[in-house]
Chain A
């Protein structure tokens, strides 16, 4: 198939067009802006028959998406970092209201100090909001995941908003050759949106957004949890279906690279999985069986799949591009909890790297693999180490 060279941001916009989104409300912020600029061009030229709502803030962008989704429309927005934080109240609202909004979050570090570069703290700050959170590795996966996201969000077993997380600059501004699916193919995969029974219907008035007493609130939350549990199966099914149509699938909830016989595995999210995979190849060329487990979904957290993949591994390195000050690190804690719950006890060591866009190379991942194996063999604690920290005697350089 003929390949097209486009950026991650352009790929997201193209996915939105192919998904025939009906309402877009967004506010610009680096490094996301190109997504909504491109969508605005599609709307202006008539290639995408959608209503583009210019809003005064990210909070309003999500509010408009919530209204449009409640009215039965297929909706989209995109943001990054500070914009996502400003939107947060409405992000939780969309999750709690079970509205199938799809949003691209172009991952960017949070200020202060100001940074426009990549890390994962923005999206992870919303991990309890009731959104499915999917993370992509490259430009092709960004496009494919936008289309998959609508199938997941609108599935009656799910009915949850979906956040597509792509690394700021590393994916958003990188140009790569990709295959663009035809409109016909996407139409066969993603049917037209059919309004669910609880959409706003002026001929059948109901009350929305009312208060829930202590006698009913918990049940809403329980159903939200159940829906997230159900989403595990749907994310996998949708990815498999996409694979049948296009030849491209991404492992459903987790993307495994050389994990089958691995003695040491790096667990992470996002685009640096590519550098980690290069490092795994280097390790194997030296006779060490290394692998990479990229979590494609962090919500729902794929505990069962993760445990299945790691149960026979000696040593696991969890590499976080985020920080929860006061907690050793975010993914590390979630991975450990999943392993503990299921009785699997490989050695687990945590690393923090790449905050605020700090460059992380295959050699850094080679060091992570080696450090983790050394810790395992010496029976050390899995204490978190910061990769490439400057001017501090952390030991790992």
Chain B
């Protein structure tokens, strides 16, 4: 099994950490993985791309992901970025309503509102990563929500971990779509 994920986001939304968190959660679910940013640099507000691979055995690949199984869009304006998702794959968008995405399987949730609700705003940018991953856990079942919550709490200690975990849980419940 090899499952490849692309994250399209803006610097400050937490996409680079999201990819790492997902691999962390995958390990806690007994899987292997690999997370990497778009090789170059990241700037707050600018488009940022990161990637993750999840597998049932150690990941040997080093080449770029060409056709992911899932695309997670943290900022609606980056939904049409040219990433070609596998036909049987899915697109998950941070959006209060059905996003305009040409793909058979589209899911959405208002991750920005969830992040704001739990005070996850840093330097003016709502960090939507935990919410997006909570929704991802729900729509794919690749990682267990409990593994994700455990990964979140090990990355952020104390209150911050709790708030991120609550955001992930709420997103897990709220995400809609699929048709």
CB within 8 Å of B: which residues of A?
3, 5, 31, 116-117, 138, 167-171, 173-177, 271-275, 277-278, 357, 359-362
Residues 41-69 of B contacting A (Cβ, < 8 Å): 58-64, 66
Question: Once the chains bind, are A175 and B36 in contact (CB under 8 Å)?
Answer: yes
Tell me which of B20-28, B98-106, B163-171 binds A.
B20-28
Question: Once the chains bind, are B61 and A274 in contact (CB under 8 Å)?
Answer: yes
Given A117-B39, A169-B39, A177-B23, A271:B34 Cβ within 8 A? no
In chain B, what residue has the closest Cβ to A5? B24
Given A275-B62, A278-B61, A362-B61, A176:B37 Cβ within 8 A? no
Question: Once the chains bind, are B62 and A271 in contact (CB under 8 Å)?
Answer: yes
By Cβ-Cβ distance, the 5 closest A-B pairs, closest first, are A274-B60, A169-B39, A175-B35, A361-B63, A174-B36
A residues near B6, Cβ cutoff 8 Å: none
Given A117-B39, A174-B34, A175-B34, A275:B19 Cβ within 8 A? no
In chain B, what residue has the closest Cβ to A171? B62
Whether B40 sits at the interface, judged by CB under 8 Å, is yes
A residues near B33, Cβ cutoff 8 Å: 5, 176-177
B residues near A176, Cβ cutoff 8 Å: 23, 33-35, 58-59
23 A-B residue pairs with CB within 8 Å: A5-B35, A116-B40, A138-B58, A170-B62, A171-B62, A173-B39, A174-B34, A174-B62, A175-B19, A176-B23, A176-B35, A177-B32, A271-B62, A273-B60, A274-B60, A274-B62, A275-B60, A275-B61, A277-B60, A357-B39, A359-B64, A360-B63, A361-B64
B residues near A171, Cβ cutoff 8 Å: 62
Q: How far is the CA of A272 from the CA of B61 in the complex (A)?
A: 7
Q: How far is the CA of A16 from the CA of B59 in the complex (A)?
A: 25
Question: Once the chains bind, are B60 and A173 in contact (CB under 8 Å)?
Answer: no
Question: Once the chains bind, are B60 and A177 in contact (CB under 8 Å)?
Answer: no
In chain A, what residue has the closest Cβ to B21? A5
Q: How far is the CA of A275 from the CA of B34 in the complex (A)?
A: 14
- 12 more CB-based (< 8 A) A-B contacts, given A138-B60, A167-B62: A170-B36, A174-B34, A174-B36, A175-B36, A176-B34, A176-B35, A177-B33, A271-B62, A273-B60, A357-B39, A359-B64, A361-B66
Main secondary structure on A side of the interface with B: loop
A residues near B62, Cβ cutoff 8 Å: 167, 170-171, 174, 271-272, 274-275
In chain A, what residue has the closest Cβ to B35? A175
Q: How far is the CA of A360 from the CA of B66 in the complex (A)?
A: 12
Question: Once the chains bind, are A3 and B20 in contact (CB under 8 Å)?
Answer: no
Cβ distance A387 to chain B, nearest Cβ, rounded Å = 12
Question: Once the chains bind, are A359 and B36 in contact (CB under 8 Å)?
Answer: no
In chain B, what residue has the closest Cβ to A140? B58
A residues near B58, Cβ cutoff 8 Å: 138, 176
Cβ distance B151 to chain A, nearest Cβ, rounded Å = 8
Question: Once the chains bind, are B20 and A175 in contact (CB under 8 Å)?
Answer: yes
Q: How far is the CA of A138 from the CA of B32 in the complex (A)?
A: 13
In chain A, what residue has the closest Cβ to B17? A175
Given A5-B35, A174-B35, A359:B27 Cβ within 8 A? no
Q: How far is the CA of A3 from the CA of B63 in the complex (A)?
A: 23
Cβ distance B143 to chain A, nearest Cβ, rounded Å = 13
B residues near A271, Cβ cutoff 8 Å: 62
B residues near A278, Cβ cutoff 8 Å: 60-61
In chain B, what residue has the closest Cβ to A360? B63
Q: How far is the CA of A361 from the CA of B65 in the complex (A)?
A: 9
Q: How far is the CA of A168 from the CA of B20 in the complex (A)?
A: 18
Report which of A138, A173, A175, A275 forms a contact with B63, defined as CB distance below 8 A.
A275
In chain A, what residue has the closest Cβ to B31? A177
In chain B, what residue has the closest Cβ to A273? B60
Question: Once the chains bind, are B63 and A169 in contact (CB under 8 Å)?
Answer: no
Q: How far is the CA of A175 from the CA of B103 in the complex (A)?
A: 29
Question: Once the chains bind, are A359 and B63 in contact (CB under 8 Å)?
Answer: yes
B residues near A273, Cβ cutoff 8 Å: 60
Question: Once the chains bind, are B27 and A3 in contact (CB under 8 Å)?
Answer: yes
B residues near A277, Cβ cutoff 8 Å: 60
Cβ distance A278 to chain B, nearest Cβ, rounded Å = 6
Q: How far is the CA of A277 from the CA of B32 in the complex (A)?
A: 17
